Amino acid sequence: MRVKAQVAMVMHLDKCIGCHTCSVTCKSTWTNRPGTEYMWFNNVETRPGPGYPKQWEDQDRYKGGWEYKNGKLRLKAGGPMSKLKNIFYNPNMETLDDYYEPWTYEYEHLIKSPKSEHLPVARPKSQITGKYIDKPEWGSNWDDDLAGGSEIVPMDPNVQKLQEHIAMEYEKTFMMYLPRICEHCLNPSCVASCPSGALYKRDEDGVVLVDQEECRGWRFCMNGCPYNKVYYNWNTHKAEKCNFCYPRTEAGLPTICSETCVGRIRYIGVVLYDADKVKAAASVEDPQDLYEAQLDCFLDPFDPEVIEEAAKAGINNEWIKSAQESPVYKMAMKWKIALPLHPEYRTLPMVWYVPPLSPIMNHVTNEEELKTDGYIPTVDQMRIPIEYLASLLTAGDTDVIRKVLLKLTAMRVHMRSVSVGGIDELQESKLLTEADIDVETIEEMARLLGVAKYDERFVIPTGRREMDDDLHYKQGACSIDDLAPPEGMVTYPFERRKGS
Amino acid sequence: MEGIFWWVIVPYLTLAIMIIGSIYRFTHNQLSWVAPSTEFFEKKWLRIGSPLFHYGLLFAFVGHVMGVLIPLEFYHMFGISDHMYHAFAIYGGGVAGLMVVVGAVILLIRKMTIDRVRVHATFADFYSVISLLIVAGIGVYITLIYNTTVVEYEYRTTIGPWFRSLFTFQPQYQLMTGVPFLFQLHIIAAFGLFASIPFTRLVHFYSVPIVYPFRAPQQYRSRSAFKRKGI
Ligand code: HEM
Ligand code: SF4
Ligand code: SF4
């Protein structure tokens, strides 16, 4: 057993209101420099839809993540030898157009325009070339709230896989928000794709980072990450990615996206896992078994043996206590209501999602008299097709999704009977057995999902500073000193650009 | 005297700038040590230009090792006649050189005409590509045209020994004085390119990731000693 700690996140999709606050606060913290205009370490996409970058889930094209072939786990885009062969031109890499050409508006003109017959306007101007863009045609949220409708929705790779036709008539259509950050995977393919070894997973908290000094811009990580969450900075010619706001988490604070989340959908906590199990878990044959295999890697933070091994691995008491109180452990591992995004990529992602409930398609008549058991079939009639959620969260396994939705439904039914009354005793119904849950858990769940306060949603131990070997040297130093990409334009003699 | 300037002072000065400059940049400015990729902006032309150019360079590099670093006697020892050598050098070198030239022309045109690439190209970027094009252009000309129409010049008795003598610190500059002008120009232009390396993104070639196939796929590092890789 090789115990490692991972700081992980759960997002409760039912509560996301698609306000993009998380994206904006993240952007103004991390990607507001030249070269990073198009980057959104956190983005919120409306699904169904192509997402950002366009159709990132189309791995036939980007060749992200891992594949299991002939009894071996290998990078889908090809191993080291094939990467060296393709180093001069990476055939699978996305380009700016797969994201969008970032632009600003010429606001100056509003102030400086000479007197004229018509009102002055601020024209859009490319942040890449500085030229006017007369007609912006795509952006990071171009299809927000299904804008673009039946023209853009079919670009969603999940929709293309679905057997059944997705209705686009207003009364029948569905929609959900999917906020995305880097998954800080247990088996990160970005790390394995990097020829320079500049990407790495931190021992202490599992955060996946790019060493800005060692990155040589070979750009295989970009499409190597199946979630397309590594970005190419055209200014520094190096890769950048979400760093889980580690200067904040090291201080015990949640990431910026979580701190500012309006819907309070985000939870952060520590989980302990056995690093020796990771490779085997990523190598199970059937993609639908990956979810269970990943769950098997996690360790029970209350198990004395685990605690002992963790201590040997240098994980201190504060971290173990946090792991015991971790909301992520509860939701993803104990109650099993949070699921990993696209487990079939075999990276063992560590941002977990509670799937959203959605209105029932057919009108439920005489709801007041509905017996609790009557709620069971409603799960299959929800607006968001179970198949669609399964395509996102369980490699197509609808049973797992159905069970989670039943748990959430049971929670609603029970909490409603507690506060409003009027529905028959849950204990005696089949809903509980089908959902495989008891009333005590339901009430605990309802508290964490519904009313938990800041310190219950974010249980983050501070960085283990006592492990630093040169604390004296680091006194007063900036925690992102060695790692941070430079501010402003990168210059070197003869490499100066106009206007920098 | 002129011989000393061009074939002793210039080469040593060039190598000094190249080596000291590169070491300085490597130790003081890692943040600027990168491959100048513009694939993010444009893929279609790069797909042809960049592999053509780089594979050409690799072949040309091997050719230069064969022609300049390996002594003539070595070939004779293995019974490779001068005629055989030159026939191979003309075909092999010609193809490699043409690959470099065609690739570089594509890259240069791409750099000049595609807005997104041009706007972010620096003086250094243009300098590298243009001087490479000049060096390779002269190289192709002497391999394919001069060698076949004027004289099959035996550089393995002049340029080769002179170049090797630089590394034993007993430069035999006299060997270079009788060398045809185009060969001399090729060499001086190449020195112009070498001296510019530390100031351009050409530094990327020092960092070919040859260790990549031999390392563990997953990299863990501890925060307290993040420069020390391990596990
Ligand atoms: C074998 C080692 C080398 C590797 C792995 C390598 C790799 C690369 C890569 C990845 C790019 C960026 C291509 C792109 O995506 O735009 C590039 C560009 C370039 N390389 Fe190399 N390179 C190597 C050797 C060299 C050498 C020896 C030279 C010349 C002396 C050279 C000259 C260039 C130039 C001029 C460019 C810029 C091309 C442009 O204008 O777009 N490279 N190289
Ligand atoms: S999601 Fe993050 S950790 Fe996982 S492969 Fe992508 S960049 Fe790497
Ligand atoms: S801030 Fe929260 S609620 Fe708003 S879009 Fe982001 S995740 Fe959703």
**Distances from the Cα of A289 to the Cαs of A66, A277, A333, A340, in angstroms?**
15, 15, 15, 12
Region A221-232: what's the mean pLDDT? 97
Measured from the CB, is residue A402 less than 6 Å from ligand 3? no
**Pairwise CA distance, residues A323 & A320, whole Å:** 5
- Reported as a single tens digit per residue, the pLDDT across A86-120 is 999 999 999 999 999 999 999 999 999 999 999 99
Residues 218-257 of A with CB under 8 A from B: 218-219, 232, 234-238
Higher pLDDT, B17 or A364: B17
Residues 455-484 of A with CB under 8 A from B: 463-464, 467-469, 482-483
Measured from the CB, is residue B203 less than 6 Å from ligand 1? no
Q: What does the domain layout of chain A look like in residue ranges?
A: 1-100+152-356+457-466
Q: Is the pLDDT of residue A496 over 60?
A: no
Taking contacts as CB-CB distances below 8 angstroms, the residues of chain A near B35 are 216-218, 237
CB atoms within 10 A of CB B165: 16
**In the numeric block, which tokens belong to residue B156?**
């393995």
Region A439-467: what's the mean pLDDT? 91
Taking contacts as CB-CB distances below 8 angstroms, the residues of chain B near A314 are none
Suggest the residue from A316, A347, A492 to mutate for an interface test with chain B (most B CBs closer than 10 A): A492
- CB contact at 8 A, B25 and B32: yes
CATH topology of domain A1-100+152-356+457-466: Alpha-Beta Plaits (3.30.70)
A272 backbone φψ class: left, alpha, beta (φ>0; ψ -120 to 50): beta
- CB contact at 8 A, B139 and B97: yes
**In the numeric block, which tokens belong to residue A318?**
């504060």
Contact yes or no for A493 and B207 at CB 8 A:
no
**Pairwise CA distance, residues A96 & A238, whole Å:** 15
Q: What does the domain layout of chain B look like in residue ranges?
A: 2-30+43-209
Q: Is the pLDDT of residue A421 over 50?
A: yes
Q: Could you say which of B125, B222, B226 has the minimum Cβ distance to residue A482? A: B226
Q: Is the pLDDT of residue B231 over 50?
A: no
Contact yes or no for B221 and A202 at CB 8 A:
yes
Closest Cα partner for B190 from B56, B36, B5, B11? B11
**In the numeric block, which tokens belong to residue A1?**
């057993």
Query: Could you tell me which CATH number the domain at B2-30+43-209 has?
Result: 1.20.950.20
**Distances from the Cα of A345 to the Cαs of A27, A57, A219, A338, in angstroms?**
27, 10, 19, 17
- Mean pLDDT of chain A, nearest integer: 90
- CB contact at 8 A, B111 and B129: yes
Q: B213: distance to nearest CA of chain A, Å?
A: 5
Predicted pLDDT of residue B229: 47
Q: A71: distance to nearest CA of chain B, Å?
A: 17
Region A369-391: what's the mean pLDDT? 82
First to last CA, chain A: 53
- Mean pLDDT of chain B, nearest integer: 92
Assign A484 a pLDDT band (cuts: 50, 70, 90).
low
Predicted pLDDT of residue A191: 97
Could you tell me the maximum CA-CA distance found in chain A, to the nearest angstrom?
80
pTM reported for the whole predicted model: 0.92
Q: Could you say which of A79, A196, A486 has the minimum Cβ distance to residue B209? A: A196
**In the numeric block, which tokens belong to residue B204?**
């990327």
Predicted pLDDT of residue A63: 96
Tell me the backbone φ, ψ of residue A117, rounded to 5 degrees. Answer: -65, -40
Q: Is the pLDDT of residue B205 over 60?
A: yes
Assign A258 a pLDDT band (cuts: 50, 70, 90).
very high
What is the share, in percent, of chain B residues with pLDDT greater than 90? 83
Q: Could you say which of B211, B212, B221 has the minimum Cβ distance to residue A200? A: B221
Q: A442 CB contacts (<8 Å, ≥6 apart)?
A: A407, A410, A411, A414, A415
Closest Cα partner for B197 from A197, A490, A492, A233? A492
Compare all CA atoms of chain A with the CA of B212 and give the residue at the minimum distance: A195
**In the numeric block, which tokens belong to residue A273?**
């896992």
Atom of ligand 3 nearest to the CA of A20: 5
Predicted pLDDT of residue A160: 82
**Distances from the Cα of B76 to the Cαs of B64, B72, B80, B85, B156, in angstroms?**
18, 7, 5, 10, 12
Taking contacts as CB-CB distances below 8 angstroms, the residues of chain A near B223 are 202-205, 463, 467-468
- Would you give the DSSP letter of residue A49? S
Lowest average pLDDT, out of A410-419, A490-499, B166-175, goes to A490-499
**Pairwise CA distance, residues A234 & A239, whole Å:** 9
- Complex prediction ipTM: 0.93
Task: Determine the length of chain A.
Answer: 500
Is the Cβ of A492 closer than 8 Å to some Cβ of chain B? yes
